[in-house]
Amino acid sequence: MLEFTTINLWAVAAVWLVYMIIGAFWYSPAGFAKQWAKYTGVDIMKIPTQEANRAIGFVALSALLQVVTLAVVLKSLNVVTVSNGLLTAIVLWLGLTTATTVGVTMYSRRSWRYLWLNSSYFLLVMSVGSVILTLWA
C-alpha cells in the first residue's frame, strides 16, 4: 500500500530545496550549461526572462512532484537504511527516469552525451534525496 500520511514534509521541503540548488548549479555556466547548449543548440543564458521564469516554475513543480514521489516510494517500501535508500533511488532512476529519457533523446535526435548529462543530474539528486529522506524519516 502506498504510504502518504506519514511523509515528513520538512524532509520533502529540504530535498526539494536540494534539487533546486543542484539543478541551478548543474545547468549554470559554472556547471554544464556549455555542454547542454552544445547538445541542444539552446543557450540558457539567452532565453527571454519571461520564458525562463515560466520554465523555472515548471521545473520547480516537477521537482516537488519527484521528491514527493520518492518520499512515498521510500516510505511505502519501509526503507530505513541509507544503502537501501540509495539502491531504491538507483533502481527508480535507471528504470523510470533514464529508460523514459532514452526514447525522447533518440526521437529528438540528441546524442548519448545529452542523455547522460540530463540523466546523471537525476541520478545525483535522487541519490542525495533518498539519503536525506531515509535519514530524516
pLDDT one-digit tens code per residue, 28-48: 999 999 999 999 988 888 889
Average pLDDT over residues 118-132: 97
Q: Tell me the mean pLDDT in the region 63-92.
A: 97
pLDDT of 4 > 90? The answer is no
Nearest Cα neighbor of 71 from 23, 25, 13 is: 13
Residues 37, 28 contacting (CB under 8 angstroms): no
The structural domains of the chain, with segments of one domain joined by +, span: 9-135
Q: What is the per-residue pLDDT for 7?
A: 94
In the structure grid, which three cell numbers stand for residue 28, read together?
Answer: 549554470
**Distance of alpha carbon 22 from alpha carbon 25, whole angstroms:** 5
Q: How far is CA 45 from CA 8, 39, 56, 99, in A?
A: 36, 15, 13, 29
Residue labelled with grid coordinates 544503502: 83
The CA distance from 38 to 54, in Å, is 22
Angle subtended at Cα 69 by Cα 66 and Cα 71, rounded to the nearest 5 degrees:
110
Label residues 86-109 b or e (16+ Cβ within 10 Å = b).
Answer: bebbeebbeeebbeebeeebeeee
Helix runs in the chain, H state only: 9-26, 33-40, 49-76, 82-92, 99-107, 112-135
Q: What is the mean pLDDT of residues 99-110?
A: 93
In this structure, what C-alpha cell is assigned to residue 60? 520547480
pLDDT of 58 over the 80 cut: yes
